[in-house]
Chain A
Amino acid sequence: MPEQQQDILITIIVASVFFVLLGIFLLVLLFVFLRRQRKNEKEKEEMRNHFEKTLLKSQIEIQDQTIDYVAKEIHDNIGQILFLAKLNNNQITRENALEKANLIDGLIGRAFNDLRSISHNLKNNSFHQIGLTESIEQLLHNLERTGKFTTSFTGPPSDEIDGMIHGNDIILFRIIQEVVNNVLKHSGADRINIVITREDNTISIEITDNGVGFDPGSIRKDQQGIGMNNIYSRAKLINTSVNIISAAGEGTKVILTLKTQ
């Protein structure tokens, strides 16, 4: 057989083998793609689970804080008033009976009002009912009630913000609570301001105090407490950046920036 014909036959064989290899390559590509896609799905699922866990944890923590607040109110406020009423009751004599009765009546009235206020708070304090902005106002109001702090809050109307951060609001509120807890524990501040601003798809929350401040650069990552770690990990989960501006003696400003879709 002429050499030319032989070359053609070899070309035909090589081309056929090449096409079969092309098919095998296509199958390999399919499996690699499938594997990668499954891995991505698994990662997404894990992220979703992590988010749900954090959300649940945040809800439980908010509930715990509310229960703490109620317990404290009952013990420190209503308990004291009722104790005072009991003391006055024991001191009733024929001479001061009317005066004491009026006093006891006033004290019981105060205890009743406080109880009603707690009940009202409990009933309307559900995060889902009042949303982020009102929950922040409530948080600051409770701080003011201690008489140790002055607070201020500025922000756009509740419905404007809540719609934008729906789904992330509980976690965001927990971050704010954690920042405020840090202020109460470490700063020695007596003034806390919270400002929420909105610009296009970005929501910025500034929490400022007039405490002792600190050098943020001096705190290494491994030295951060559980509180700070919680703030960073939760912020990461809801795609929020945390920026701390502080200096010794100049108070602290924590800026949370959340990009919404």
Chain B
Amino acid sequence: MLTYIYLLVQASSFFVCLYLFRYLKNSELKYFLPYLFLTLLVEMIGFWQTSHGIRNYFMFNVFTTVEFVFYTFLFYRHLRKKIFKQLALAFIPFYLLAVAYNLAFVQGLNYFHTYTFLLGSFFIVVFCCLFFYESVLPEHLNTKLTMQPFFWVCTGLLLFYLGSVIINALFEYLRSFDMQQEGIRIYGIINQSLNVILYSSFIFAFILCRNNNKTYSLQL
């Protein structure tokens, strides 16, 4: 049941993004359109593969790597301090190398890349904190934080990656035979609940982007 809700919310986020694209095209959120399309495609294929008993770790290893690179790129565009921007930019090649090394020599292609997934999660949480830090600086006090679409993207990412740390760290253990399917069920519940929060926050950010655009036009 939760899987369907999660897929529905995710598909909704893509369609909302598509519907409001004319408002998003002038903001950094425009990059969400291809990304959400890819996400939906991967999730659908993944769902179909799982229901047919096909292992899909390789696809998710590649997709989650793209996911981290995409979010880092968004942070690179939204962070204002030069040092933070440089950190985000430097993280992209570093992360790609780390994933390549992990898949080639450590965890292998046929297992979920938990080590590098946790590394990516850690950095996304760090970038979220850096964004929040920049938001409380005196020079940015005049901008209302809750009216900024990226704040909601950031909130979703923070909650998602903080909440999924434990289940991803114990990914292999939860899928082990000892857990008798209960582990997989718990993993699914937590992961999908967090995904609902994440994609809902994206939808909210897109709507906010449209509202802000309307406000600006009225002011003009």
Contact = CB atoms under 8 A, between A and B. Distances in A.
A34 B158 contact: no
Interface in A19-77: 19-20, 22-24, 26-27, 30-31, 33-34, 37-38, 41
Contact of A16 (B132, B164, B179): B164
Interface string B115-134: 00000000000000100100
B135 A34 contact: yes
13 contacts: A5-B178, A12-B166, A13-B186, A16-B163, A20-B194, A22-B162, A23-B162, A23-B163, A26-B129, A26-B132, A34-B136, A34-B145, A37-B136
A20 B167 contact: no
Contact of B166 (A6, A16, A23, A38): A16
Contacts of A23: 158-159, 162-163
B149 interface: no
A24 B141 contact: no
B136 A33 contact: yes
Interface residues of B, number: 26
A15 interface: yes
Interface string B142-174: 000100000000010011001111110010001
B159 A24 contact: yes
Given A12-B170, A20-B162, A30 B141 contact: no
B141 A12 contact: no
Nearest to A33: B136
Interface residue SS majority, chain A: helix
A9 interface: yes
A12 B158 CA distance: 19
Contact of B159 (A15, A20, A38): A20
Nearest to A4: B178
Given A5-B182, A13-B190, A20-B159, 4 more contacts: A9-B182, A22-B162, A23-B163, A26-B158
Nearest to A31: B145
Nearest to A30: B132
A19 B170 contact: no
A34 B141 CA distance: 8
A1 interface: yes
